[in-house]
Structure 1
């Protein structure tokens, strides 16, 4: 009986160690360069397993779950527009960190396509001897320059992880708080708990693998001519497509749209809406 008890305990400990951990960060952003008083706040998840971590928006996860449930049920009456609108997110990207290869993979949508690149700029931290306490954790200060911003992070060795929100990692502990010196972006750890599997995020449309510099060029092209990306996809870029199945936005045929207009009216309205969204996101987290 004693031997069985020891085996059971060993299996239980193995099960606990195999569990994944979710760290919930409150992300505070000032995405509009011309209106810094417009502060956006939402939660994001940092899911950590033994092999990798994944950082993504809580709202995106909820939207994906609703879409998946609706599709699985055959569509039904479609989506609840108000519910989906309430789950809009300013964090449309996801970031995966591969622990074995020490590689950071960034994914974000431009128009109808999802672009993927491997981060090519290693973080160089300057660790200070300064310590304090944030919540229940004793934390230590570290600083870095990244993406055209100066960042201050506070990390703890109370937790057995060397990771953090967004692309931040490489410190001898988990980042509890990190913010830029202009106060435009901050990530604050709120809570953590055990989870099962790290979710596989839905990627609607084509997935295109590029270099980081080409992704930046595509973003610039999108800002100048967003509709070409929405209706044609890719903006004429030479791509390596690693997945397919996406379609662009198709204008209503004839007078079938609610306004009774033609596809030219639809294109104009779509262009105005997309350009307004771009204007409201004129202060990105990475400035260079």
Structure 2
């Protein structure tokens, strides 16, 4: 009995140590530069463990789950409920992992069929103010930075034992509770937090391509003007194609019409995302 008790305690300690914390942020965005009245709001998760953190869209997880079930069932793209997938569209199509041990910030985003990955090469230089206030239950302190072509004001708290934040924000002596750029185009507001068993592994449909950040920016611009060149990479219609672009109909559609419709949709999406979070 004593041995069983020791084993149970060890398992409990192992489980407790393996836990991660999930911080839910409300992200408010004005992604269309030609229509600042078009305000998008969605939730994103910042999952933090002892080794790393991961920032990603809540809708991304829900879409991944639907896609995974469809492919496991052998249905492919045509088996998706198109209305359900459309309701889970996200303006946060990237994910950001912060490797605590190696002090690296890894950005992942899809262009066409492939996942592009780069390591952030710009440090975030914070100017910490003595100004404090209270947001919700937390006493917070003000900090400012210029990053990605925007001036950011953030409020961080030392009430929680984390030095992290949404998006690429890190390096402060506390957790970011609120962040907003000076134009009011983007803001992140901490809504709640709770424990989870572990940080989930996000589905990676398509080939992972590691590049320098500057090369990713070039590829991103090319994708906006010639999206079909990215769709054709890797050959036939595998699961790497972004599901939000393809049609939901049967297999008798004219390939030329499908190609044109897909191209128009990608270009329309590029226009609706003409005010990105990083502008340089």
Fold equivalence (TM over 0.5): yes
1:277 alignment partner, one of 269, 272, 275: 269
Question: For 1:21, what is the secondary structure of its paired residue?
Answer: strand
Question: What is the alpha-carbon distance in structure 2 between the residues aligned to residue 129 and residue 8 of structure 1?
Answer: 47
**Range 63-72 or range 188-197, more displaced:** 63-72
**Residue of structure 1 equivalent to 2:92:** 91
Greater relative contact order (Cα 8 A, min sep 6): structure 1 or 2? 2
**Residue of structure 2 equivalent to 1:101:** 102
* Alpha-carbon offset, residue 6 of structure 1: 9.7
Question: What is the alpha-carbon distance in structure 2 between the residues aligned to residue 233 and residue 143 of structure 1?
Answer: 43
Please tell me whether the aligned partners of residues 119 and 212 of structure 1 are also in contact (alpha carbons under 8 angstroms).
Answer: yes
Question: For 2:79, what is the secondary structure of its paired residue?
Answer: coil
* Alpha-carbon offset, residue 16 of structure 1: 2.9
Question: What is the alpha-carbon distance in structure 1 between the residues aligned to residue 205 and residue 46 of structure 2?
Answer: 22
Question: What is the alpha-carbon distance in structure 1 between the residues aligned to residue 141 and residue 241 of structure 2?
Answer: 48
Question: What is the alpha-carbon distance in structure 2 between the residues aligned to residue 133 and residue 185 of structure 1?
Answer: 21
Please tell me whether the aligned partners of residues 21 and 48 of structure 1 are also in contact (alpha carbons under 8 angstroms).
Answer: yes
Question: What is the alpha-carbon distance in structure 2 between the residues aligned to residue 233 and residue 5 of structure 1?
Answer: 54
Please tell me whether the aligned partners of residues 206 and 245 of structure 1 are also in contact (alpha carbons under 8 angstroms).
Answer: no
**Residue of structure 2 equivalent to 1:256:** 252
What does residue range 67-78 of structure 1 map to in structure 2 within 5 Å?
67-75=67-75, 78=79
* Alpha-carbon offset, residue 52 of structure 1: 0.3
Q: Does structure 1 residue 117 correspond to structure 2 residue 118?
A: yes
Question: What is the alpha-carbon distance in structure 2 between the residues aligned to residue 19 and residue 107 of structure 1?
Answer: 24
Deviations 1:265-286 (A, max 9, x none): 2222221111111100000000
* Alpha-carbon offset, residue 263 of structure 1: 2.6
Structure 2: give runs of 5+ residues left out of the alignment: none
Q: Does structure 1 residue 19 correspond to structure 2 residue 19?
A: yes
Q: CA RMSD in A?
A: 2.8
Deviations 1:81-124 (A, max 9, x none): 21111111000000000000000000001111110000000110
Please tell me whether the aligned partners of residues 150 and 180 of structure 1 are also in contact (alpha carbons under 8 angstroms).
Answer: yes
Question: What is the alpha-carbon distance in structure 2 between the residues aligned to residue 151 and residue 201 of structure 1?
Answer: 28
Question: For 1:83, what is the secondary structure of its paired residue?
Answer: helix
**Residue of structure 2 equivalent to 1:147:** 148
TM-score by length of structure 2 reads 0.89
**Residue of structure 2 equivalent to 1:193:** 194
**Range 69-78 or range 222-231, more displaced:** 69-78
TM-score by length of structure 1 reads 0.86
Q: Does structure 1 residue 56 correspond to structure 2 residue 60?
A: no
Please tell me whether the aligned partners of residues 23 and 192 of structure 2 are also in contact (alpha carbons under 8 angstroms).
Answer: yes
Deviations 1:187-223 (A, max 9, x none): 0000000001211111111110000000000011111
Question: What is the alpha-carbon distance in structure 2 between the residues aligned to residue 86 and residue 263 of structure 1?
Answer: 26
Question: For 1:139, what is the secondary structure of its paired residue?
Answer: strand
Deviations 1:39-67 (A, max 9, x none): 00000000001000000000000111122
**Residue of structure 2 equivalent to 1:238:** none
Please tell me whether the aligned partners of residues 45 and 57 of structure 2 are also in contact (alpha carbons under 8 angstroms).
Answer: yes
Question: What is the alpha-carbon distance in structure 2 between the residues aligned to residue 91 and residue 81 of structure 1?
Answer: 19
Please tell me whether the aligned partners of residues 113 and 208 of structure 1 are also in contact (alpha carbons under 8 angstroms).
Answer: yes
Question: What is the alpha-carbon distance in structure 1 between the residues aligned to residue 199 and residue 95 of structure 2?
Answer: 13
Deviations 1:239-281 (A, max 9, x none): xxxxx98469999xxx921xxxx43322222211111111000
